[in-house]
């Protein structure tokens, strides 16, 4: 299933966000909503890992922010994590953001990503493959010195 994630369902996202604010007695001005991953299957898998509290970090090619015209994430921001069908599955709050080259990712980050067996070796193989496939499909170059934006976050909803 290589189809890209579906766009978020606005009404469902808004209801999910309001439920979080009411249940946790918080008032937060704004948030963003996104799926992690470039296919529905991967977005489903990663959203489940986030909702379980296992995935607490995510890597994005810096070029993705440039191509989409999106601002880089900042600490304190809230993100509604969507599954591959655009349904809200979790809300995270960004704790830390850093810029690193692909070949500078370490064991700690790979573990916090919560994917596979949570080792750096697994992470490097999986992400090399993912980025290489995307680069070929979308017509850009990627390598060991590809710039990544590493986001560390805390699960805030569901509790």
State pTM to two decimals: 0.94
Closest CA to 126 of 40, 51, 64, 58: 58
Domain ranges of the chain: 10-101+147-157
Domain covering 10-101+147-157 assigned CATH 3.40.50.720 in the classification:
no
pLDDT category, 17, cuts 50, 70, 90?
very high
How do residues 92-122 score in pLDDT, each as one tens digit? Answer: 999 999 999 999 999 999 999 999 999 999 9
CA distance 35 to 117: 22
Closest CA to 148 of 112, 113, 100: 100
Measured between alpha carbons, how far is 66 from 51 in angstroms, rounded to an integer? 28
């Amino acid at each position: 299933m290589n189809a890209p994630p579906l766009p978020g369902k606005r009404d469902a996202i808004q209801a999910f966000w309001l439920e979080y604010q009411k249940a946790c007695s918080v008032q937060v001005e704004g948030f963003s909503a996104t799926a992690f991953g470039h296919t529905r299957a991967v977005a489903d898998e990663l959203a489940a890992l986030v909702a379980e509290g296992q995935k607490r970090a995510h890597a994005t090619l810096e070029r993705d922010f440039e191509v989409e015209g999106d601002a880089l994430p900042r600490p304190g921001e809230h993100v509604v994590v969507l599954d591959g069908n655009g349904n809200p599955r979790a809300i995270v709050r960004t704790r830390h953001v850093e810029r690193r080259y692909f070949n500078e990712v370490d064991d700690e980050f790979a573990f916090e990503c919560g994917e596979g067996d949570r080792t750096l070796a697994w992470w490097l193989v999986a992400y090399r493959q993912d980025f290489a496939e995307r680069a070929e499909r979308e017509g850009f170059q990627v390598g060991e010195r590809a710039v990544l934006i590493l986001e560390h976050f805390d699960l805030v909803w569901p509790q």
